[in-house]
Amino acid sequence: MIQLVAEPAPIGIDLARTALIIIDMQRDFLEPGGFGETLGNDVSLLKAAVEPCRQVLAAARKAGMLVIHTREGHSPDMHDAPPAKVARGAPSKRIGDVGPMGRILIQGEPGHDIIPELYPIAGEPVIDKPGKGAFYATNLGLILANRSIENLLVCGVTTEVCVNTTVREGNDRGFRCIVLSDCCGSYFPEFHETGLAMIKAQGGIFGWVTGSKKLLSAMAA
């Protein structure tokens, strides 16, 4: 058990029943030429989350925690890509179109893969998801149940979209979700702050929010 300083209140968690979930830290979202940029975003704004996330990942591995990575994307034949989603973005560079890192947001393409700094190692599940939430149309729930997981430490991008959606899904399934604020990022700084505020509001209606340094300090103690 560790005692974690968090908002709206401290929380005690058993690391043996806790999983670290790193959401969508993919080249398509963090590097130029990927899906994030085709939507008109400044992808450099997400870089601040990489190093804190890397430190937490190293600590989780050292502690023997379950680490799960997710990737948003679609099968090469795009049977799982809703037309309404494909229609978004610049007309010349939409999901499935060829970009600098291969077909945009398509499984198996270089852009779909996770950035080198946070690359999975053997034994760490990688969840390929077609939507925003990590539970939708995936086996994440089964993996967590098989490991008797109760708590989720959540990192990744973007704060207000895939992170928030996954936290809400996890909360509805009975998991205690703790978001590591500096391990998340958004193309819109104001959305990042609002997304965190929504999670911890009303006594933690969706979960808790803390920072990587507070987590690492608690784990070291």
Catalytic residue of the set 24, 28, 113, 182? 24
Active site residue 162: yes
Catalytic residue of the set 28, 53, 113, 129? 129
Determine the straight-line distance between the first and last CA of the chain, rounded to whole angstroms.
Answer: 11
The secondary element (H helix, E strand) that includes residue 203 is helix 189-204
Active site residue 85: no
- Spatial distance between the Cα atoms of 158 and 146, rounded to a whole number of angstroms: 28
Q: What angle do CA 100, 185, 170 make, to 5 degrees?
A: 110
Catalytic residue of the set 155, 162, 183, 184? 162
Question: Which of 52, 54, 18, 9 minimizes the C-alpha distance to 170?
Answer: 18
| Half-sphere exposure at residue 108, Cβ-oriented, CA atoms within 13 angstroms | 6
- Spatial distance between the Cα atoms of 73 and 75, rounded to a whole number of angstroms: 7
- Supply the residues annotated as catalytic: 24, 129, 162
